[in-house]
Structure 1
Amino acid sequence: MRNLKSKREITQMRRAGLAVWQAHQIAAELVRPGVTTGKIDAAVDEYYTEIGGFALFRNYPHGQRGKPAFPAVTCISVNDEVVHGIPGPRVLEEGDVVSIDTGVRIDGWCGDAAITHPVGQVESEPAKLLEVTTGVLNLAIELLAVKKRWSEVAQEMAAYVSDHGFYTVESFVGHGIGREMHEDPQVPNFVNKTLRASGDFPIEPGLVIAVEPMVNIGTKRVKSMPDHWTQCTFDGKASAHFEHTIAITEEGPQPLTVGPTPEEENLGILRKNTAT
């Protein structure tokens, strides 16, 4: 079941998207050797408090049995950590790659995005990994303008990653988003029998989805860590993760978690980046 949004609702979601974009600018200023992942999380937490936003990740899944509550407002995953890394005392080092994923609810609407950063100078293979993962997300946005069904987009995404010698993670997928962070439909970055049989969906105005390719250097397989959240590559090689919240409008795909237009500068949720 798809929960299509009106033009007005998409405009409201853009506010949450801008807040997520600003959170990522704040985080990016702190990505450097010697900074802890906990410090990055604290800076984003401070910003969400400042604007009165509800941090979507903290305490997730909010009482659902069998899963400990996530303790932070960001997922910060370093090197072989694919997703859901818990921020803390880990110190970033030269040559690391660090994925930062965060989401917020503003005035009842959600935004969610992820970016993977190089820490200082990185080796050629991780640098290529980041380039390809950014590229496949950009490809998805382009394809959303011309394809009719998600399976067509996902098939080309998976081929793009494979053609560059990397592996699409299949254990985690994107999702619909709106009033809640996770809504229908599921949005895989690959095609399988389940998607073709019952999970495919049309690309139509009002659809709002979080598209989030996760790409590994050596294998698509992942393993769960003892903290019950962090997921790592099975072979210990690096992973990258990029994500945008994207609305489909009559004019085409509109990423909601990108930077502001001049007209959006004075919405009251943006501030000048600071790094300490």
Structure 2
Amino acid sequence: MIKLKTKEEIDLLYESAQIVSKTLGMLAKEVKPGVTTLHLDKLAEEYIRDHDAIPGFLGMYDFPNTLCMSPNDQVVHGIPNNKPLEEGDIISIDCGALKNGFYGDQAYTFSVGEINPEIEKMMTITKQSLYSGIKKCKTGNRIGDISFAIQLICENAGYGVVRELVGHGLGKDMHEDPQVPNYGRKGSGPKIEEGLVIAIEPMINQGTYKVKFHNDGWTVTTRDNKPSCHFEHDVAVVDGLPKLLSTYKYIYEALGISSNEEEEFLYKSLHS
């Protein structure tokens, strides 16, 4: 059952999402060759707790850490460890936080030093597909319109769109209805209504869309061992239109990136 949110609830979701966004912004300066994912994980846990929130992933379904850290051919749900990142790696960092009873959930794929231009292109197009999907998150459309928009951009560029892992509704639970696939048909799936809050998260592979689930119960890699990337935003339908509860602003500020990609989706809280 899809749980539509009130303006007051969306405000609380915004607060949680912003904590996640600021956590990723803090981490942006720390992602570099030689650092371990376990070190980044500890920084994130401290930051989230210092901001009066609880790490959203830690202990959920028995996950052992604050962050899902997925380098290179890992798609999602990688477990932080003591292996240092290397020049040329990419790493998807997926982070969640719980505050005032509501979750924030966001992911960004970072470059570690200089990376292969072909991998950088995949990351750019995946992020473009995310915003293309967000544009379709408005009343009168259906979830399949979001899915189709993401799939069209990524497959036209020759990339594999992961089938087994999808976006989701967001609220008092991290994973609520509806599921939000990154592939699908226009006009299919549940209707998009006022108060819908979802996490849209394209998971895109450089090669095949097929993935492998590992024996640790968490790690998912590409079947052909080619790189994968992952971007995720929390989106609410407010006055019929998509509004971003999360932001990449803090990441971009840390990395010196100039972007206006979020301008049309800016959310105004009841208290602003």
Report the AA paired with residue 208 of structure 2: T
- Written as runs of structure 1 = structure 2, the 5 A alignment for 1:67-82 is 69-82=62-75
By how many angstroms is 1:29 displaced? 1.3
**How far off is 1:45 after superposition?**
0.4
Give the equivalent residue in structure 2 for 1:169.
162
Whether 1:156 and 2:149 are equivalent positions in the alignment is yes
- Matched position secondary structure for 1:215: strand
Please report how far the alpha carbon of residue 131 of structure 1 lies from its aligned counterpart in structure 2 after TM superposition.
0.5
Amino acid in structure 1 at the alignment position of 2:29: E
Segments of structure 2 that go 5 or more residues without pairing to the other structure are 251-265
Distance, in Å, in 2 between the alignment partners of 1:203 and 1:189 is: 16
Q: Is the 8 A contact 2:57 2:65 kept in 1?
A: yes
Q: Give the Å deviation of 1:38.
A: 0.6
Contact 1:57 1:103 in 2 (8 A): yes
In the alignment, what sits opposite 1:230?
219
Counterpart-to-counterpart distance in 2, 1:33 and 1:146? 44
The CA distance in 2 between the partners of 1:228 and 1:143, in whole Å, is 33
* Equivalence map 1:195-214=2 (5 Å): 196=188, 200-214=189-203
Q: 2:94 aligns with which of 95, 101, 111?
A: 101
Counterpart code for 2:177: D
1:153 is displaced (CA, Å) by 2.0
Hey, what does 1:142 align to over in structure 2? 135
Q: 1:113 maps to which residue?
A: 106
TM-score normalised per structure 2: 0.89
Q: Distance in 1 between matches of 2:6 and 2:135?
A: 22
Give 1:251 shift. Answer: 5.2
In the other structure, the counterpart of 1:59 is 59
Please list, as runs of the form range in 1=range in 2, the aligned pairs for 1:249-268 lying within 5 A after superposition. Answer: 249-250=238-239, 252-258=241-247, 259=249
Distance in structure 2 (CA, Å) of the matches to 1:133 and 1:10:
26
Deviating beyond 6 angstroms after TM superposition, the runs of 4 or more aligned structure 1 residues are: none
Q: How many residues are paired up? A: 254
Give the CA RMSD over aligned residues.
Answer: 2.1
Instruction: Check the 8 A contact 2:139/2:240 in 1, yes or no.
Output: no
8 Å contact from structure 1 (residues 147, 153) kept in 2? no
Residue by residue, what CA displacement relative to the aligned partner does 1:57-76 show, whole Å, maximum 9, x if unpaired? 11121xxxxxxx21100000
Paired residue secondary structure (1:30): coil
Q: Distance in 2 between matches of 1:203 and 1:129?
A: 29
In structure 1, give the amino acid aligned to 2:233.
Answer: H
| Superposition TM-score, scaled by structure 1 size | 0.87
Structure 1 alignment gaps of length 5 or more: 62-68, 268-276
Q: How big is the shift at 1:143?
A: 2.1
| Sequence identity (%) | 38
